Structure 1
Amino acid sequence: MKPVFAKILEGAEITTFATKDVQRPFFSTEFHFHSACQMTYIVESEGKRIIGDNISNFASDELTFVGPDLPHVWHNNNTNCPETGLAETRVSRSLALYIEPKLTIKLLGQFFQTNKIEAFFLASKRGLLFRGATKEQLKQKLKEIVKLDYGFKKTILLLEIMELMLFSAEFDYLSSAGYTHNYSPVDNSKIDRIFKFVFNNYTGQIQLDQVARLSNMSKHSFCRYFKSRTQKTFVQFVNEVRVSESCRLIVENKHQITHIAYACGFNSLSNFNKIFKSIKGVTPSQYKSQIR
């Protein structure tokens, strides 16, 4: 999938930071990146997200911080009404804070040393998932800052948010330490629809020649292109999507492991156990025991 370069803060009254309250039936499924850092709090929605090379489920009350130029996307689940079988009308809502790191460092550098801020922005290039008390404090301040127009109080809240992040250890890295992307603003969109196709069809068999045709490429060309852009094979990507969904179902604790394996597109329980352990480091049963 092509990540589109987006100039988030261009044209704003103050280009150092900006806020947004997003309310729509579905979040944008466009894979993109931008020079601004992005804090996102999911008020109401669920689905799958990609941040760098991390593929995970997301749900309401999640708070992430995506560093500069880190590709990302939130893709909502398809939900149908049990009575009619038709797509349900829901509102997906998120609150976002965008911070331009270079300009922020330059401005704050006039008041104090910015070494810690620079280190934080560098670390955030892996994507951060906040938890615990820090998440609770950040989301409250994010709710406040989104309501305000640009001004003195809004700037104070920005500094308070940054201070909370800088001195907290209550977060997990999302993307792997060695992740770098090879996308550019002019990168073509040959596999843009492949991500969506996998998200919507991972429960069944996905043939490589099928997705290659969708992107108008030969199997060999598609595999090479996909690996060069994502740093993983297409098979690895599909398996990560399936394992991510299986983790969600295991947490729900409504189905047996065997049912989950076939529901997520695996053709055998042994294959599911093998792939799950290679990605998560434990077997599905061990994972279930850990979360319980």
Structure 2
Amino acid sequence: MKAKFHQVPKAFNNAFSIRHDILPHFGTIWHYHPEIELHYLIKGEGVRFIGDHIDHFGEDDMVLLGSNLPHTWKCNEIKQGENHVEALVLHFHPECLGKEFLTVSETQEILKLLQLSKNGLIIHGDTKERIKELMAAMQHTNGLEKLIYLFAIFRVLATSDEYETLSRSFAYNKLNKIDESRMDKVFSHTLTNFREKISIEDVAILCNLSSTSFCRYFKMITNKSYFDFLTEVRLNHACRLIIDSDLTMQHIAVESGFENTSNFYRHFKKFKGITPTEYRKRLV
């Protein structure tokens, strides 16, 4: 998928930044940046893509993204001109306090945390609640006090085990313009047409590649097969229908692009570990 370098905005000479976003959407550009990102979602929902991770996002989610980990948030359909997302976003460059900062013994817990964040972490429980308070307070501080809040956040995160890894493995390689164009076409085509039948041949043509070459190409960039990627997009949509509607599983299977109900059940069990019916019962 197309990953654009993103220049994180911050005041001149500031070591890090925190902002409160209230926007129509987060944008859809698949991007990366060297700064660590701590993202707390106050309002909004849709699908997030972090490395090779695909899942629904909703209000009260908190994620920690490592340096140069490609990501994007694709918001649900919105009405033009309305603000549908709100978030607190903290950016911190790992070398903003000097290249030696993370080499001393006192910061080894922070270094370990940043290494874990390379695959993306979703933060849960009391840890999330404490960090929410610290981020909210940090917005209204300056100078040394703001830096103290940053270290307080690091301390809470570094001493917690209330998190889950999001991306199984994602070694980002910078893409040239041809690669960017190809993967952008694949990304857009899949999200637009996942409810319909999509063949490898159809997608390969978008990239001007043979079917065999495309399969190797996609796997090299995303660490998964194209059909695994397509299946995860469909399953994510199915999960939202299971949660937000009382549609039958047969109807949900069709609405999510699966050939039949048995095919839907088989893929759901493989990727989620439980059946769609069990998934619904757990949420009732």
**Equivalent position of 1:41 in the other structure:** 40
| Closer/same/farther in 2, CA of residues 110 and 270 from structure 1, 3 Å limit | closer
SS in 2 for 1:2: coil
Q: What per-residue deviation string (whole Å, max 9, x for no partner) do you get for residues 128-183 of structure 1? A: 111122112212222222344x412211111111111111111111111xx13242
**2:35, 2:68 within 8 Å by CA — same for their partners in 1?**
yes
Structure 2 CA distance, aligned partners of 1:64 and 1:16? Answer: 21
Structure 1 CA distance, aligned partners of 2:67 and 2:187? Answer: 22
Residues 100-115 of structure 1: matches in 2 within 5 Å?
Answer: 100-104=93-97, 106=99, 108=101, 113-115=106-108
**Equivalent position of 1:133 in the other structure:** 126
Q: What per-residue deviation string (whole Å, max 9, x for no partner) do you get for residues 84-137 of structure 1? A: xxx674432222101112344756569862221111111111211111221122
In structure 2, which of residues 79, 87, 91 is the aligned counterpart of residue 94 of structure 1?
A: 87
SS in 2 for 1:267: coil
**Equivalent position of 2:170 in the other structure:** 180
**Equivalent position of 2:24 in the other structure:** 25
Q: Percent identical across equivalent pairs?
A: 32
**1:105, 1:114 within 8 Å by CA — same for their partners in 2?**
no
Structure 1 CA distance, aligned partners of 2:209 and 2:253? Answer: 31
Structure 1 CA distance, aligned partners of 2:261 and 2:223? Answer: 27
**1:243, 1:264 within 8 Å by CA — same for their partners in 2?**
yes
Shift of 1:231: 1.0
Structure 1 CA distance, aligned partners of 2:201 and 2:174? Answer: 26
**Equivalent position of 1:83 in the other structure:** none
Query: Which stretch of the first structure deviates more once superposed, 219-228 or 116-125?
Result: 219-228
| Closer/same/farther in 2, CA of residues 186 and 263 from structure 1, 3 Å limit | same
**Quick one: which amino acid aligns to residue 125 of structure 1?**
K
**Equivalent position of 1:198 in the other structure:** 190
**Quick one: which amino acid aligns to residue 225 of structure 1?**
Y
Shift of 1:205: 2.1
In structure 2, which of residues 112, 118, 129 is the aligned counterpart of residue 119 of structure 1?
A: 112
Pair 1:214-2:213 in alignment: no
Q: What per-residue deviation string (whole Å, max 9, x for no partner) do you get for residues 237-272 of structure 1? A: 010011112122223352222221111111100000
Pair 1:263-2:255 in alignment: yes
| Closer/same/farther in 2, CA of residues 127 and 104 from structure 1, 3 Å limit | farther
Structure 2 CA distance, aligned partners of 1:247 and 1:122? Answer: 31
**Quick one: which amino acid aligns to residue 215 of structure 1?**
C
**Quick one: which amino acid aligns to residue 229 of structure 1?**
I
Shift of 1:58: 0.6
**1:38, 1:66 within 8 Å by CA — same for their partners in 2?**
yes
Structure 2 CA distance, aligned partners of 1:110 and 1:204? Answer: 52
**2:40, 2:60 within 8 Å by CA — same for their partners in 1?**
yes
Gaps of 5+ in 2: none
TM-score under structure 1 normalisation?
Answer: 0.87
Q: What per-residue deviation string (whole Å, max 9, x for no partner) do you get for residues 7-31 of structure 1? A: 436x742353112333332212111
**1:50, 1:74 within 8 Å by CA — same for their partners in 2?**
yes
| Closer/same/farther in 2, CA of residues 262 and 38 from structure 1, 3 Å limit | same
**Equivalent position of 1:241 in the other structure:** 233
**Equivalent position of 1:287 in the other structure:** 279
Structure 2 CA distance, aligned partners of 1:154 and 1:161? Answer: 11
TM-score under structure 2 normalisation?
Answer: 0.89
SS in 2 for 1:191: helix
Structure 2 CA distance, aligned partners of 1:239 and 1:105? Answer: 43
Structure 2 CA distance, aligned partners of 1:263 and 1:169? Answer: 37
SS in 1 for 2:106: coil
Query: Which stretch of the first structure deviates more once superposed, 216-225 or 46-55?
Result: 216-225
**1:105, 1:118 within 8 Å by CA — same for their partners in 2?**
no
Structure 1 CA distance, aligned partners of 2:267 and 2:198? Answer: 16
Structure 1 CA distance, aligned partners of 2:100 and 2:137? Answer: 23
Number of residue pairs the alignment of both structures matches? 282
**1:182, 1:228 within 8 Å by CA — same for their partners in 2?**
no
